[in-house]
């Protein structure tokens, strides 16, 4: 593997890669050419992501694996599913999208993750983790009758396989026993001591056609001694337990092979080439290095998980702290004040702003890995024994723990705070990561309160409000930086359900804002002379303010960075119905469609939530 000291600024020469338009072109290459192709793919990946920004570390780690899989399997006829998809850039480069790879994550460009509508080589759309095994199990069972020769491969990471869904699928696979291959891409190096002579030697034996033949024919040539086959199998199991860490997968009914070196293309072709013809579910453990081939990325895998454009023009304006930083400062301050506070995150320490907390309060910090359901019920257990859990979770990932939130938290009215990061439109990661639905799916749950801060200062205050509330409470805030408001460092709270009047206008149209688009609402309300109310709370609504201002108004306009269907504006309409307030309404939010990847600002304009679009839409009512 060629090692690069830096990300190239000039397009590299890639004579082998230039010959590859689709995976079928690879299959005529020699193994030595595949090694050179891997080096070219890695260099091209470095160059292209340096130009476009995006996920880098995961893709660097699976270059050789990607080349080997497309060399050995008849894609797209054979199904290849990448779990999550952060690592799928090399896959896109080799499957007809090389010339457009620089458009990735941009408006109208390539999707940030595999997407079935983008390419026939993307067998399953992904973005959230731990779905790949379930998907290929379904594919393998469905194809069994009409396409028995079709192969089914899932590539899942050591983080994604920690999720309960992955183990449910593994267990079901061991029960149904279809012909399928699961590849564990282990880039955490936690068992690197097992790479080397003995474990590799046995891995090659267990994946060899000779050994397969011995096992398969055991019932015939060992028929006079049927116990001999079982003895062979028992010895194999004991040997695997000694030199391999995968006995748990054997117990689930899968044939475990590994670990093998994921950067040794010769070994992978030998092992995978044999395994693809094995009967039943196969589990191959591959060790890779995240960021492989770039010195800096190998040293700092977190920093190089995703990068921005290398030559991006720096803004002359000073950007304030991100909302995750506001949360990170708040939770440290609150933990100093209250020793019962504990923080929980499902594998998003850096993204959620918990790095500092984890260092200052290691005994009160719990990273439960990619296990959102567990994180919420774990918090419920903590709350029942007198702790004050704060669950820091992305809005889109809380969707995965919805039943636990209702059944384990809300029904029991437990004292838990939910800090919902990345609420609303998130930008380049697209619809799988936008947190568009939390208002709709949270406000219908009894016992919970739900808050939508408009800026950094309000975020800190509403987090304190949520924490002091004796019951389940959620605060939703967006990705990135806010309007750079001055943040009061006191741990002060706000009266629950209390809105604030931003400006009094002469128009009979009342503008109700919910959340982070207040700055757009301010521009419009000033131009059209509207009364502007920052509602702050979706649940409970400030019923007193609404009665006062809507009773004599001709119309209310609501604005939210969330789904219109079932959202905050809908909550106000329900209030008006209950109170017999006859009033027109116009709801602005995210429409009933998935908003494809682009910048957050472009997404906001597409939804008509920017000041210019709002002004034009409201003018006719004033």
What is the spatial distance between Cα 59 and Cα 87, in angstroms, rounded to a whole number? 4
Is the previous residue joined to 526 through a cis bond, with omega within 30 degrees of 0? no
Rg for the chain, CA atoms, rounded: 27
CA distances for 86 relative to 53, 105, 336, 486, angstroms:
13, 12, 37, 36
What is the spatial distance between Cα 524 and Cα 511, in angstroms, rounded to a whole number? 9
Two structure tokens written together for 9: 């600024």
Longest dimension (CA), the chain: 98
| Number of Cβ atoms within 10 Å of the Cβ of 14 | 19
The catalytic position among 151, 400, 443, 539 is 400
Q: Among 501, 536, 542, which Cα is nearest to 522's?
A: 501
What is the spatial distance between Cα 502 and Cα 108, in angstroms, rounded to a whole number? 37
The catalytic position among 35, 372, 458, 560 is 372
User: What percent helix, strand, coil does the chain show, rounded to 5?
Assistant: 45, 15, 40
What is the spatial distance between Cα 181 and Cα 284, in angstroms, rounded to a whole number? 7
What is the spatial distance between Cα 67 and Cα 37, in angstroms, rounded to a whole number? 8
| Strand pairing report for 306-307 and 54-55 | antiparallel
Q: Among 1, 9, 573, 564, which Cα is nearest to 264's?
A: 1
Annotated catalytic, 290?
Answer: yes
Question: Three-class SS of residue 180?
Answer: strand
**Alpha helix ranges (H) inside 190-301:** 197-206, 209-216, 218-221, 226-243, 247-251, 265-275, 295-299
Q: What is the DSSP string of 541-607?
A: --HHHHHHHHTT-SEEEEEEEEESTTSHHHHHHHHHHHTT---EEEEEEE-SSPPPSS-HHHHHHHT
The catalytic position among 51, 151, 289, 290 is 290
Strand-by-strand arrangement of the 152-157 sheet: 79-82, 152-157, 180-186, 281-287, 255-261
Helix (H) or strand (E) holding 440: helix 438-442
Q: Among 462, 471, 469, 515, which Cα is nearest to 493's?
A: 462
Q: Among 122, 123, 153, 125, which Cα is nearest to 137's?
A: 153
Residue 521: exposure state from Cβ atoms within 10 A (0-12, 13-18, ≥19): buried
| Strand pairing report for 473-476 and 417-421 | parallel
What is the spatial distance between Cα 12 and Cα 453, in angstroms, rounded to a whole number? 47
Cβ–Cβ < 8 Å for 60, 88: no
What is the spatial distance between Cα 575 and Cα 539, in angstroms, rounded to a whole number? 11
Tell me how long the chain is.
622
Q: What does the DSSP 8-state code read for residue 6?
A: S
Catalytic residue positions?
A: 290, 372, 400
């Amino acid at each position: 593997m060629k090692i690069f000291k830096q990300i190239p600024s000039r397009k590299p020469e890639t004579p082998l890669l230039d010959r590859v338009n689709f995976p079928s072109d690879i299959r005529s290459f020699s193994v030595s050419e595949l090694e050179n192709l891997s080096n070219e793919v890695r260099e091209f990946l470095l160059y292209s992501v340096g130009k476009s920004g995006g996920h880098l570390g995961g893709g660097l780690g699976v270059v050789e694996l990607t080349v080997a899989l497309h060399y050995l399997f008849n894609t797209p006829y054979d199904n290849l599913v990448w779990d999550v998809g952060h690592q799928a850039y090399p896959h896109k480069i080799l499957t007809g999208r090389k010339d457009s790879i620089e458009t990735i994550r941009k408006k109208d460009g390539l999707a940030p993750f595999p997407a079935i509508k983008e390419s026939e080589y993307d067998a399953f759309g992904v973005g959230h983790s731990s779905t790949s095994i379930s998907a290929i199990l379904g594919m393998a069972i469905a194809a069994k009758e009409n396409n028995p020769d079709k192969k089914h491969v899932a590539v899942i990471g050591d983080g994604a396989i920690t999720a309960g869904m992955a183990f449910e699928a593994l267990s079901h696979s061991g029960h149904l026993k279809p012909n399928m291959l699961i590849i564990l891409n282990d880039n955490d190096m936690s068992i690197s001591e097992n790479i080397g002579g003995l474990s590799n030697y046995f891995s090659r034996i267990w994946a060899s056609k000779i050994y397969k033949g011995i096992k398969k024919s055991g019932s015939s040539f060992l028929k006079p001694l049927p116990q001999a086959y079982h003895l062979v199998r028992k010895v194999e199991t004991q040997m695997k337990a000694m030199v391999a860490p995968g006995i748990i997968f054997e117990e689930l009914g899968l044939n475990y092979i590994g670990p093998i070196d994921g950067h040794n293309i010769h070994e992978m072709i030998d092992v995978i080439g044999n395994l693809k013809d094995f009967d039943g579910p196969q589990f191959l453990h591959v060790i890779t290095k995240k960021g492989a081939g770039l010195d800096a990325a190998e040293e700092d895998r977190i920093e190089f998980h995703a990068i921005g454009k290398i030559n991006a023009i720096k803004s002359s304006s000073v950007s304030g702290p991100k909302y995750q930083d506001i949360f990170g400062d708040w939770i440290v301050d609150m933990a100093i004040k209250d020793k019962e506070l504990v923080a929980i995150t499902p594998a998003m320490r850096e993204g959620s702003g918990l790095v500092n907390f984890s260092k200052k309060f290691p005994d009160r910090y719990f990273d439960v890995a990619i296990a959102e359901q567990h994180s919420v019920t774990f918090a419920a257990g903590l709350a029942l024994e007198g702790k004050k859990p704060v669950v820091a979770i992305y809005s889109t990932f809380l969707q995965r723990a919805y039943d636990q939130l209702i059944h384990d938290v809300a029904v029991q009215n437990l004292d838990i705070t939910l800090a919902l990061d990345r609420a609303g439109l998130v930008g380049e990661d697209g619809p799988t990561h936008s947190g568009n639905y939390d208002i709709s799916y949270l406000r219908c749950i009894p016992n919970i309160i739900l808050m939508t801060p408009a800026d950094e200062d309000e975020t800190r205050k509403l987090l304190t409000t949520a924490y002091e509330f004796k019951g389940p409470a959620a605060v939703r805030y967006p990705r990135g930086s806010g309007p750079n408001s001055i943040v009061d460092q006191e741990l002060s709270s706000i009266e629950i359900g209390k809105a604030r009047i931003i400006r009094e206008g002469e128009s009979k149209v009342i503008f109700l804002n919910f959340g982070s688009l207040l700055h757009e609402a301010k521009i419009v309300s000033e131009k059209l002379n509207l009364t502007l109310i920052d509602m702050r709370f979706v649940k409970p609504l400030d019923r007193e303010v609404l009665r006062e201002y809507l009773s004599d108004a001709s119309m209310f306009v609501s604005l939210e960075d969330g789904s219109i269907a079932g959202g905050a504006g809908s909550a106000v309409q329900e209030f008006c119905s209950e109170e017999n307030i006859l009033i027109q309404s116009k709801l602005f939010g995210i429409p009933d469609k998935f908003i494809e990847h682009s910048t957050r600002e472009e997404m906001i304009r597409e939804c008509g939530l920017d000041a210019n679009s709002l002004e034009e839409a409201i003018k006719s009512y004033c």
